[in-house]
């Protein structure tokens, strides 16, 4: 059974006459790092919002077709049920930072899942180290640079060890070297935790080094799907 299965999936935002997604067929397994590409407005973020139930639970609208996200149908599942399962990083990190220290930011989700304090400390320490954030642990995320905020946002998603990881332009505020390093960690974790990672990323030259598969979207549809270099050269 696949990690994610979609068949004939279409979606319309509540106040819109044109569908943002049209007849999407998509199946993926744990361990894959799927790079999602296509012009602005083609539906990448919309597609990603199905994975954590924001569509339809938060955005509303009309979602049709067959959908299984690790066995869950977002139309029949309250959003909090996705919390331990699907990690999601938005384009603007400041929208997902809430606390007055980096350390609290990382611990919060784990506390919510009821993980014992001892393990929370261990996982937070380990993750801070991995993302080079140890020096910033007592700082307020709101005082950090855009790139540092992006790292904190990613670390606070990764510390949860989600089975499915959705990253919407996780390197937008990073310099090329940090971008390379961050996507390297993402690829390593995808293998190590056997996650399914869906990556929306404009830096193709970097992302293609790490993707195991590329999906090309155009006008709400998937128009190409396959091996990274083949798929990009055909699109």
Half-sphere exposure of 133 (CA within 13 A, CB side): 32
Of 47 and 82, the one with the shorter C-beta distance to ligand ADP is 47
Nearest approach, Cβ of 19 to ligand ADP (angstroms)? 9
26 vs 131, beta carbon nearer ligand ADP? 26
Site string for ligand ADP, 43-82 (x = CB under 6 A): xxxx------------x-----------------------
Pair 210, 179: CB distance under 8 Å? no
* The only residue of 13, 30, 99, 108 in contact with ligand ADP, by rule CB under 6 A: 13
Q: Does 40 bind ligand ADP (CB under 6 A)?
A: yes
CA dihedral 149, 151, 156, 160 (to 10 degrees): 160
The token pair that represents 78 in the structure block: 């309250």
Residue 151: CB minimum distance to ligand ADP, A = 20
In 53-189, where do the E strands start and end? 62-69, 86-89, 164-168
Within 106-125, the residues that bind ligand ADP by CB under 6 A are none
Considering the complex, what minimum distance in angstroms separates the CB of residue 43 from ligand ADP?
4
Q: What would the two tokens of residue 137 be? A: 């642990």
CA torsion, points 203, 216, 131, 79, in degrees to nearest 10?
140
Residue 59 or residue 108: which is nearer to ligand ADP going by CB?
A: 59
**Residues in the chain, total:** 235
Instruction: List contacts with ligand ADP (CB under 6 A).
Output: 13, 16, 20, 38, 40-46, 59
């Amino acid at each position: 059974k696949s990690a994610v299965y979609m068949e004939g999936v279409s979606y319309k935002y509540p106040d819109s006459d044109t569908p943002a997604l049209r007849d999407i067929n998509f199946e993926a397994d744990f361990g894959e790092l799927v790079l999602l590409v296509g012009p602005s407005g083609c539906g990448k973020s919309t597609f990603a919002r199905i994975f954590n139930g924001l569509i339809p639970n938060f955005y509303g609208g009309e979602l049709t077709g067959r959908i299984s996200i690790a066995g869950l149908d977002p139309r029949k599942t309250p959003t909090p049920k996705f919390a331990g399962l699907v990690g999601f990083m938005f384009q603007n990190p400041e929208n997902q930072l809430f606390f007055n220290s980096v350390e609290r930011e990382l611990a919060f989700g784990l506390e919510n899942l009821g993980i014992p304090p001892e393990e929370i400390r261990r996982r937070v320490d380990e993750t801070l180290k991995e993302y080079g954030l140890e020096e910033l642990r007592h700082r307020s995320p709101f005082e950090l640079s855009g790139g540092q905020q992006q790292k904190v946002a990613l670390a606070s998603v990764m510390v949860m060890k989600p089975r499915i990881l959705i990253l919407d332009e996780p390197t937008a505020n990073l310099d090329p070297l940090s971008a390379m390093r961050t996507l390297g960690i993402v690829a390593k974790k995808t293998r190590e935790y056997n996650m399914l990672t869906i990556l929306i990323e404009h830096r193709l030259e970097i992302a293609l080094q790490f993707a195991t598969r590329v999906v090309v979207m155009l006008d709400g549809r998937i128009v190409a799907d396959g091996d990274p270099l083949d798929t990009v050269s055909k699109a």
